[in-house]
Amino acid sequence: MSMTFTGPDGKPRCRWCAATPEYLDYHDREWGFPVGDDRRLFEKLSLEGFQSGLSWRTILEKRENFRAAFDHFDYDKIAQYTERDVERLLHDAGIVRHRGKIEAVINNARRAQELVQREGSLAAFFWRYEPAEDKLAKPQTASTSEASIALSKELKKRGFKFVGPTTMYALMQAMGLINDHAEECAMRPIAEQARMDFKRPGR
């Protein structure tokens, strides 16, 4: 089976984004493009955790609700959340109401603050796990990697939750740490150029 489909503009796109119109915009504008902003990285980390066991479509459709509910993923604000906030979020029908995942975001906000104190920024930490070219699997053939396993292990050691190797691989795809667009996808060279132009934090 081909790894692409023909998009509305007649150009090939990764097959996964044919499932819903929301996917196409996300695929073309965000997925695989490099992210160096700490708040956006924390949002992606949190949403990938919420996605665990669910479809990305569910998360994408609720993303604006998540942003509103979690102070636009300002981890300094989320780190101050109390049990009252947990209860508020559990009653918010606009998000995924899973106590473990909600509490994980709050926990991870506190761990993010600690990480930033030690590393300078979340971006500097995450971009350290960008794999070498010879360590990359063929696009969209893997769900974990040596780098995602190492990243998961380090985050767990630092007290983060919902950061398993598969979730971290999805994060690596989403934040452009790897370019996992299909080889024939029209967006692959565009994402790759963005990665080439991107100044890696801490280097």
Domain presence at residue 78:
yes
Number of separate domains in the chain: 1
The verdict on pTM exceeding 0.75 is: yes
Identify the sign of the CA torsion 145, 108, 113, 56: positive
Residue 202: its pLDDT value, please?
76
Active site residue 48: yes
Question: How far apart are the C-alpha atoms of 146 and 159, rounded to whole Å?
Answer: 20
Question: How far apart are the C-alpha atoms of 154 and 146, rounded to whole Å?
Answer: 12
Residue 103 sits in a domain of what CATH number? 1.10.340.30
**Does the annotation place 17 within a ligand binding site?**
no
The pair of structure tokens assigned to 18 is: 């044919």
The answer, yes or no, to whether residue 136 has pLDDT greater than 70, is: yes
Domain presence at residue 11:
no
Question: How far apart are the C-alpha atoms of 186 and 78, rounded to whole Å?
Answer: 38
List 23, 48, 129, 169, catalytic entry: 48
**Residue in this structure with the two tokens 């915009």, named with its chain if needed:** 25
Residue 146's closest CA among 129, 161, 163, 162? Answer: 129
Question: How far apart are the C-alpha atoms of 139 and 128, rounded to whole Å?
Answer: 21
Residue 34: its pLDDT value, please?
98
List 56, 81, 127, 129, catalytic entry: 56
Confidence of residue 203 (pLDDT cuts 50, 70, 90): low
Active site residue 64: no
In terms of residue numbers, what domain contains 61?
37-197
Q: Residue 17, exposed/middle/buried by CB under 10 A (0-12, 13-18, 19+)?
A: buried
Domain presence at residue 85:
yes
Residues in the chain: 203
Residue 90: its pLDDT value, please?
98
**Does the annotation place 27 within a ligand binding site?**
yes
pLDDT tens by residue, 33-53:
999 999 999 999 999 999 998
Active site residue 56: yes
Residue 149: its pLDDT value, please?
98
**Does the annotation place 181 within a ligand binding site?**
yes
Domain presence at residue 104:
yes
Domain presence at residue 19:
no
Domain presence at residue 27:
no
Domain presence at residue 9:
no
pLDDT tens by residue, 168-186:
999 999 999 999 999 999 9
CA dihedral 35, 90, 69, 37 (to 10 degrees): -20
List 16, 22, 26, 103, catalytic entry: 26
